Structure 1
Amino acid sequence: MKIKDLDPQILEKAASMLKAIAHPMRIAILSHLEDGKRLTVTEIHQLLNIEQSTTSHHLGILKDKGVLASQRDGKNTFYFLKHESLRNIIDCVSKCSAS
Protein backbone atom coordinates (compact mmCIF):
# COMPACT_ATOMS: atom_id res chain seq x y z
CA MET A 1 0.00 0.00 0.00
CA LYS A 2 1.24 3.48 -0.82
CA ILE A 3 0.80 6.61 1.28
CA LYS A 4 -1.29 8.28 -1.43
CA ASP A 5 -3.78 5.39 -1.15
CA LEU A 6 -4.36 5.91 2.57
CA ASP A 7 -7.45 7.59 3.94
CA PRO A 8 -6.80 11.18 5.15
CA GLN A 9 -8.09 10.27 8.63
CA ILE A 10 -5.58 7.42 8.87
CA LEU A 11 -2.79 9.77 7.79
CA GLU A 12 -3.89 12.31 10.41
CA LYS A 13 -3.79 9.65 13.14
CA ALA A 14 -0.37 8.45 11.97
CA ALA A 15 0.96 12.02 11.99
CA SER A 16 -0.41 12.52 15.50
CA MET A 17 1.31 9.36 16.71
CA LEU A 18 4.61 10.40 15.11
CA LYS A 19 4.39 13.84 16.74
CA ALA A 20 3.90 12.17 20.12
CA ILE A 21 6.92 9.93 19.55
CA ALA A 22 9.11 12.82 18.33
CA HIS A 23 10.58 13.73 21.71
CA PRO A 24 13.89 12.41 23.08
CA MET A 25 12.41 11.28 26.39
CA ARG A 26 9.48 9.53 24.69
CA ILE A 27 11.82 7.74 22.31
CA ALA A 28 13.80 6.61 25.37
CA ILE A 29 10.59 5.35 27.00
CA LEU A 30 9.64 3.41 23.88
CA SER A 31 13.09 1.86 23.67
CA HIS A 32 12.50 0.31 27.11
CA LEU A 33 9.16 -1.12 26.01
CA GLU A 34 10.47 -3.10 23.04
CA ASP A 35 10.02 -6.85 22.68
CA GLY A 36 6.70 -6.95 24.49
CA LYS A 37 8.00 -5.50 27.76
CA ARG A 38 5.47 -4.10 30.20
CA LEU A 39 6.73 -1.58 32.73
CA THR A 40 5.20 0.57 35.47
CA VAL A 41 5.69 4.32 35.81
CA THR A 42 8.06 3.65 38.72
CA GLU A 43 10.19 1.23 36.70
CA ILE A 44 10.40 3.65 33.76
CA HIS A 45 11.28 6.69 35.88
CA GLN A 46 14.01 4.69 37.63
CA LEU A 47 15.43 3.41 34.33
CA LEU A 48 15.56 6.92 32.85
CA ASN A 49 16.48 8.70 36.10
CA ILE A 50 13.75 11.32 35.70
CA GLU A 51 10.96 12.51 37.99
CA GLN A 52 7.93 10.26 38.29
CA SER A 53 5.62 13.17 37.39
CA THR A 54 7.61 13.79 34.19
CA THR A 55 7.39 10.10 33.35
CA SER A 56 3.63 10.10 33.91
CA HIS A 57 3.26 13.18 31.70
CA HIS A 58 5.10 11.54 28.78
CA LEU A 59 3.28 8.23 29.24
CA GLY A 60 -0.04 10.10 29.19
CA ILE A 61 0.80 11.74 25.88
CA LEU A 62 1.91 8.46 24.32
CA LYS A 63 -1.20 6.69 25.55
CA ASP A 64 -3.52 9.51 24.44
CA LYS A 65 -2.11 9.40 20.91
CA GLY A 66 -2.48 5.62 20.63
CA VAL A 67 1.19 4.72 20.88
CA LEU A 68 0.95 2.98 24.25
CA ALA A 69 -1.69 0.97 26.04
CA SER A 70 -1.91 0.17 29.73
CA GLN A 71 -3.24 -2.56 31.95
CA ARG A 72 -3.94 -2.31 35.63
CA ASP A 73 -2.82 -5.15 37.88
CA GLY A 74 -3.59 -4.48 41.53
CA LYS A 75 -1.95 -1.20 42.53
CA ASN A 76 0.27 -1.12 39.44
CA THR A 77 -0.46 0.04 35.92
CA PHE A 78 1.74 -1.53 33.26
CA TYR A 79 2.46 0.32 30.03
CA PHE A 80 3.30 -1.38 26.75
CA LEU A 81 3.41 -0.73 23.00
CA LYS A 82 -0.12 -0.73 21.66
CA HIS A 83 1.09 -2.01 18.29
CA GLU A 84 4.19 -4.17 18.19
CA SER A 85 4.90 -2.83 14.68
CA LEU A 86 5.91 0.46 16.34
CA ARG A 87 9.21 -1.30 16.98
CA ASN A 88 10.01 -0.57 13.34
CA ILE A 89 9.87 3.17 14.03
CA ILE A 90 12.10 2.79 17.09
CA ASP A 91 14.57 0.69 15.06
CA CYS A 92 14.54 3.24 12.26
CA VAL A 93 15.19 6.15 14.60
CA SER A 94 18.07 4.25 16.23
CA LYS A 95 19.68 3.33 12.93
CA CYS A 96 19.13 6.68 11.24
CA SER A 97 20.53 8.70 14.15
CA ALA A 98 23.63 6.47 14.45
CA SER A 99 24.98 7.46 11.05
Structure 2
Amino acid sequence: MRKYCKSYPLGELRGFPGWSAGAQPEERELADDTTVFLCDEFTVMLSPVGVDKDKRLFTEDTPEWREFCETTLKFSIPDDLAFAYVESEPS
Protein backbone atom coordinates (compact mmCIF):
# COMPACT_ATOMS: atom_id res chain seq x y z
CA MET A 1 0.00 0.00 0.00
CA ARG A 2 1.36 3.40 -0.99
CA LYS A 3 1.73 5.77 1.91
CA TYR A 4 3.80 8.56 0.37
CA CYS A 5 4.15 10.11 -3.11
CA LYS A 6 6.09 13.18 -4.19
CA SER A 7 5.40 15.22 -7.32
CA TYR A 8 8.01 15.91 -9.99
CA PRO A 9 7.98 17.31 -13.51
CA LEU A 10 8.12 14.28 -15.83
CA GLY A 11 11.21 15.73 -17.56
CA GLU A 12 13.28 15.26 -14.38
CA LEU A 13 12.45 11.55 -14.21
CA ARG A 14 13.19 11.12 -17.91
CA GLY A 15 16.77 12.00 -17.00
CA PHE A 16 17.21 8.44 -15.72
CA PRO A 17 19.29 6.53 -18.33
CA GLY A 18 16.97 3.49 -18.15
CA TRP A 19 13.75 5.48 -18.35
CA SER A 20 12.75 4.55 -21.91
CA ALA A 21 13.19 0.83 -21.23
CA GLY A 22 10.83 0.84 -18.25
CA ALA A 23 8.29 3.49 -19.24
CA GLN A 24 4.81 2.67 -20.48
CA PRO A 25 3.93 3.69 -24.08
CA GLU A 26 1.36 6.35 -23.03
CA GLU A 27 4.16 8.19 -21.16
CA ARG A 28 5.66 9.25 -24.50
CA GLU A 29 2.60 11.41 -25.24
CA LEU A 30 3.14 13.56 -22.13
CA ALA A 31 5.14 16.79 -22.04
CA ASP A 32 8.23 17.18 -19.85
CA ASP A 33 6.38 19.69 -17.65
CA THR A 34 3.59 17.21 -16.82
CA THR A 35 3.40 16.68 -13.06
CA VAL A 36 3.77 13.02 -12.10
CA PHE A 37 4.19 11.28 -8.76
CA LEU A 38 7.06 9.12 -7.53
CA CYS A 39 5.70 6.78 -4.87
CA ASP A 40 7.37 5.13 -1.91
CA GLU A 41 7.63 1.80 -3.76
CA PHE A 42 9.52 3.64 -6.56
CA THR A 43 6.77 3.47 -9.17
CA VAL A 44 5.75 6.58 -11.09
CA MET A 45 2.08 7.41 -11.41
CA LEU A 46 0.11 10.02 -13.27
CA SER A 47 -1.83 10.70 -10.07
CA PRO A 48 -2.14 8.99 -6.67
CA VAL A 49 -5.88 9.87 -6.52
CA GLY A 50 -8.87 10.17 -8.81
CA VAL A 51 -9.50 8.50 -12.14
CA ASP A 52 -5.78 8.14 -12.93
CA LYS A 53 -4.80 6.73 -9.52
CA ASP A 54 -3.84 3.33 -10.89
CA LYS A 55 -2.18 4.53 -14.10
CA ARG A 56 1.49 3.68 -13.70
CA LEU A 57 3.95 5.28 -16.07
CA PHE A 58 7.11 3.54 -14.84
CA THR A 59 7.44 0.36 -12.79
CA GLU A 60 11.07 -0.77 -13.12
CA ASP A 61 12.37 -1.15 -9.56
CA THR A 62 16.10 -1.63 -9.96
CA PRO A 63 19.05 -0.62 -7.78
CA GLU A 64 20.01 1.94 -10.46
CA TRP A 65 16.54 3.49 -10.42
CA ARG A 66 16.51 3.71 -6.63
CA GLU A 67 19.96 5.29 -6.68
CA PHE A 68 18.81 7.87 -9.25
CA CYS A 69 15.73 8.69 -7.17
CA GLU A 70 17.66 9.03 -3.94
CA THR A 71 20.71 10.90 -5.23
CA THR A 72 19.56 12.88 -8.27
CA LEU A 73 15.94 13.52 -7.32
CA LYS A 74 16.65 13.60 -3.55
CA PHE A 75 13.59 11.38 -2.99
CA SER A 76 13.09 10.13 0.55
CA ILE A 77 10.29 9.57 3.01
CA PRO A 78 10.04 12.69 5.22
CA ASP A 79 11.12 12.17 8.82
CA ASP A 80 7.70 13.16 10.12
CA LEU A 81 6.13 10.26 8.18
CA ALA A 82 8.73 7.65 9.11
CA PHE A 83 6.45 6.24 11.80
CA ALA A 84 4.13 4.93 9.06
CA TYR A 85 6.92 2.68 7.78
CA VAL A 86 7.95 1.14 11.05
CA GLU A 87 6.88 -2.49 11.37
CA SER A 88 4.67 -2.88 14.39
CA GLU A 89 5.81 -5.50 16.83
CA PRO A 90 3.36 -8.28 17.69
CA SER A 91 1.62 -7.76 21.04
Structure 2-normalised TM-score? 0.29
Higher fraction of helix = 1
Higher fraction of strand = 2
